[in-house]
């Protein structure tokens, strides 16, 4: 099982001092957090994507590539990559490049995001958010698995004989998690492709997360990828710890009360009772995290948010020390107990290459030799009959998942 942290990269005033870090401070501090996560023995660092203040992470691949150059074991991920407002071609190329420079230490979580104005900023309509997520991922999935792609859809110009470069490392794309809090269609999309499903349930009660994971597992089995117990599940969480539980409560309260998302809402006591937020001792974090398995089953990845709401860097690094020294070693042992042998580990690059090729050498890509001649609809130089033929072929073959989406075959 993998353990790690994620950040949403907010730049928030510290309510206890009135000081707000600069963008530069927060960016450099996040890099320090990622490096320390590796130093204390965590497995994963995941970076959010935002294009609006008070968040700074508009270019996750740039940041993750920089972190990759200063770490050696840490698996790098996102939380999340916006599949709706990013061009799938750019995602395919950026994350394949990140694969190469990190020697395969990368996967990504795809999501629709939670900021409505981002859609028009990138020329999209928020009312088309779900169809965008479905169509864009269909194209991304093909771009990573087919050396030459002919494609036509609703939301972007068609592609003819297109090769995304660079090709995925060892002919194996980065593993994809589909992240969602409340959308059953995204759980089914993850299940359709046999990808992972990440339920970031930090703001929701256990009963809601239980239903979402149960849907994903049922559909994973329905689509023929294995048993429901073999589906790949990740969970989010949030913690604040001190050796003494009451010290943690007293120290974190002003940060909770003024947090951008849940501040000035429910009391911290109500929130910790009703959601996965844990404020207390390391043992309390261990106990609550182990309880997640009671309602989602054995799962593969646990990530915590530890740097939200204006917490100073020194405090965040202390949280990582407690995770690495007192929490995660115990969780590794406890989650391993009675874990069925057929429940898989979280995929990584080595395991994906092994599953695809065994002891054989990975296939070498055969890209389109005329890659530079790729034309899109509207070019005055193109042969329109070729475009029409490609569109007809693409539309007739379609996507099995797209058809399912049209028929609304989702369990709600």
| Domain CATH number, residue 274 | 3.20.20.30
Phi, psi values for residue 326, rounded to 5°: -120, -25
Q: Check residue 398 and give its pLDDT.
A: 42
Task: Write down the residue that tokens 């054989």 correspond to.
Answer: 360
Tokens of 97: 């490049």
What is the reported pLDDT for 118? 78
Written as six digits, the tokens of 245 are 């539980």
- Continuous H helices in 297-341: 313-322, 328-336
Residue 390 pLDDT: 40
Q: Look at residue 97 in the predicted model and tell me its pLDDT.
A: 97
Residue 82, strand partner residues:
111
Sign of the torsion angle spanned by Cα atoms 13, 325, 176, 375: positive
pLDDT at position 403, please? 41
The whole-angstrom distance between residue 220's C-alpha and the CA centroid of its chain comes to 18
**Residue 47 placed within a domain:** yes
> Contact at 8 Å (CB) between 199 and 181?
yes
Parts of the chain with a pLDDT under 70: 113-116, 370-412
- As a dihedral over the C-alpha atoms of residue 185, residue 188, residue 189, residue 193, rounded to 10 degrees, the angle is 180
**pLDDT, position 382:** 41
d(CA 138, CA 405): 12
Note whether residue 270 is domain-resident.
yes
The pLDDT, as a whole number, for residue 408 is: 40
Rounded to whole angstroms, the Cα distance separating 316 from 310 reads 10
- Does residue 411 sit within a domain? no
Query: Percentage of the chain surpassing pLDDT 70?
Result: 89
In a domain, 257, yes or no: yes
Q: What is the DSSP string of 165-181?
A: SSPPGGG-PPPEEEEES
Is the separation of the CB atoms in 189 and 179 below 8 Å?
Answer: no
pLDDT tens across 210-267, in order? 999 999 999 999 999 999 999 999 999 999 999 999 999 999 999 999 988 787 888 9
What is the tally of structural domains in the chain?
1
131 SS3 class: helix
Q: Give the CA distances from residue 120 to residues 51, 126, 129, 264, 374, in Å, rounded to whole numbers and listed in that order.
A: 12, 8, 11, 30, 27
Give the whole-angstrom CA distance, residue 160 versus residue 53: 38
Domain that residue 182 falls in: 2-406
Q: Would 233 be classed as within a structural domain? A: yes
**CB-based contacts of 317-322 (< 8 A; 24+ apart in sequence):** 317/32, 317/33, 317/36, 319/239, 319/240, 319/241, 320/5, 320/33, 320/36, 320/37, 320/40, 320/42, 321/40, 322/241, 322/282
What is the C-alpha to C-alpha distance for residues 343 and 347, in angstroms, rounded to an integer?
12
- Predicted local confidence at residue 370, as pLDDT: 66
CA neighbor of 352 nearest in space, from 67, 71, 144, 86 = 144
Asked, as a colleague might, if the bond just before 58 is cis with ω within 30 of 0, I would say: no
Cα–Cα distance, 58 to 216 (Å, whole number)? 29
Instruction: List b or e across 56-79, with b for residues whose CB sees 16 or more CB atoms inside 10 angstroms.
Output: bbeebbebbbebbeebeebbbbbb
Cβ distance 135 to 88 under 8 Å?
Answer: no
Answer whether residue 129 is part of any domain: yes
Please give the pLDDT value at position 84.
83
Q: Does residue 56 lie in a domain region? A: yes
Q: Token pair for residue 185? A: 């269609």
d(Cα 321, Cα 5) in Å, to the nearest integer? 12
Q: CB neighbours of 371 closer than 8 A, spacing ≥ 6?
A: 161, 162, 163, 165
pTM score, whole prediction? 0.88
pLDDT at 182: 76
SS (H, E, C) 237-297: EEEEECCCHHHHHHHHHHHHHCCCCCCCCCCHHHHHHHCCCEEECHHHHHHHHHHHHHHHC
């Amino acid at each position: 099982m993998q353990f790690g942290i994620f950040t949403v990269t907010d730049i928030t005033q510290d309510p206890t001092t009135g000081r707000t870090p600069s963008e530069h401070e927060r960016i450099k501090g996040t890099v320090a957090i990622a490096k320390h996560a590796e130093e204390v023995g965590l497995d994963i660092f995941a970076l959010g994507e935002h294009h609006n203040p008070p968040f700074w992470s508009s270019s996750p691949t740039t940041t993750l590539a920089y972190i990759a150059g200063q770490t050696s074991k840490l698996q790098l991920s996102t939380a999340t990559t916006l599949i709706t407002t990013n061009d799938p071609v750019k995602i395919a190329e950026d994350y394949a490049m990140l694969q190469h420079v990190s020697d395969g230490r990368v996967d990504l979580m795809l999501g629709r995001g939670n900021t409505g104005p981002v859609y028009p900023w990138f020329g999209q309509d928020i009312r088309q958010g779900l169809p965008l997520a479905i169509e864009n991922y269909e194209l991304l999935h093909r771009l990573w698995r087919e050396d030459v792609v002919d494609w036509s859809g609703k939301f972007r110009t068609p592609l003819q004989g297109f090769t995304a470069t660079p090709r995925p490392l060892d002919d194996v794309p980065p593993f994809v998690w589909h992240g969602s809090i409340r959308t059953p269609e995204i759980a089914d999309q993850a299940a359709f492709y046999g990808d992972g499903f990440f339920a970031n349930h930090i703001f929701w009660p256990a009963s809601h997360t239980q239903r979402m994971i149960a849907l994903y597992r049922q559909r994973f089995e329905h689509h023929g990828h294995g048993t429901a117990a073999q589906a790949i599940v990740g969970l989010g969480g949030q913690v604040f710890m001190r050796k003494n539980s009451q010290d943690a409560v007293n120290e974190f309260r002003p940060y909770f009360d003024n947090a951008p998302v849940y501040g000035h809402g429910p009391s911290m006591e109500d929130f910790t009772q009703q959601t996965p937020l844990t404020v207390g001792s390391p043992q309390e974090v261990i106990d609550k995290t182990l309880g997640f398995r009671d309602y989602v089953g054995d799962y593969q990845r646990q990530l915590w948010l530890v740097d939200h709401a204006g917490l100073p860097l020194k405090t965040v690094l202390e949280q990582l020390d407690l995770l690495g020294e007192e929490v995660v070693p115990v969780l590794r042992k406890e989650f391993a107990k009675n874990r069925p042998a057929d429940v898989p580990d979280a995929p990584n690059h080595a395991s994906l290459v092994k599953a695809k090729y065994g002891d054989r050498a990975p296939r070498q890509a055969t890209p389109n030799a005329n890659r530079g001649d790729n034309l899109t609809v509207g070019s005055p130089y193109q042969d329109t009959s070729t475009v029409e033929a490609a569109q007809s072929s693409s539309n007739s073959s379609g996507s099995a998942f797209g058809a399912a989406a049209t028929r609304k075959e989702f369990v709600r």
